[in-house]
Amino acid sequence: MEKGKSHFVLVHGACHGAWCWYKVATRLKSMGHRVTAMDMAASGVHPKQVHEVHSFSDYFEPLMEFMASLPPEERVILVGHSKGGFCISAAMERFPEKISVAVFATAFMPGPKLTSQTLSQEVNERLDSDKFMDAQFGFHNGLDEPATSLLFGPNFMASKLYQLSPPEDLTLALTLARHVGFHKDEESFKATAVTKEKYGSVRRVYIVCNKDNIIREDFQRWMIGNSPPDEVKLIADSDHMVMFSKPNELCSCLQEIAEKYT
């Protein structure tokens, strides 16, 4: 890479895809950076269907394949949003030597003593009683079995995720969002487990979004307190979809992080 320029790898959250980074990717590229926006399995334009993704390791396999394909000397900046925090954590555990810094943008951030199971339970307990609102559920094992997938509904997206984002970005999301699987099996919990030796050796920055209505600020601060990163940044007045509501501020943060950690 040219001196002063970085390679950003962007990982989306649940029901979204690489498409959600279009503003950020464009801005970062205009600064001279290299950008790879990933689709996790059965997300965005990835060819798999949600019922073919049986565990979390299946879900984030595209990211692991990408990390494995990097030349030995290349180091990237991983950026995970929301559920993407679990994905980049798994990559940090497997490829710590290929990551210069990991950025959690209002994302789930596990730690050696903070499991994905604990984080999922904690966020569920903090959600409103109508937490799923008009979401659609998939029952790929039959209607008499527990739901296997979820698609955020229009009202949920408008009020919980996109309430401060431009309306055209919500329209885009309603067009492109796909079902995401529930992965609560033992294999998935193991796939997202991290250690102090590997995950803990990668520098981390957490970006707090204080108007997030789904991963609320108090929960973001709780994760930061329980698994402290190297640095915490705040993007004020951003909803959950920081890449839509505050793309310029997010890019400024990412530029500062690139200058400091690479």
Q: Which residues are catalytic?
A: 82, 212, 240
Cβ atoms of residues 11 and 38 within 8 Å: yes
Cβ atoms of residues 191 and 55 within 8 Å: yes
- SS3 (DSSP) at 106: coil
Q: Where are the beta strands (DSSP E) in 62-216?
A: 76-81, 99-105, 136-138, 149-151, 180-181, 204-209
Q: Compute the distance between CA of residue 203 and CA of residue 195 in angstroms, rounded to an integer.
A: 14
Q: Compute the distance between CA of residue 129 and CA of residue 230 in angstroms, rounded to an integer.
A: 34
Cβ atoms of residues 137 and 145 within 8 Å: no
Q: Compute the distance between CA of residue 235 and CA of residue 146 in angstroms, rounded to an integer.
A: 37
Q: Compute the distance between CA of residue 21 and CA of residue 11 in angstroms, rounded to an integer.
A: 9
Cβ atoms of residues 235 and 246 within 8 Å: yes
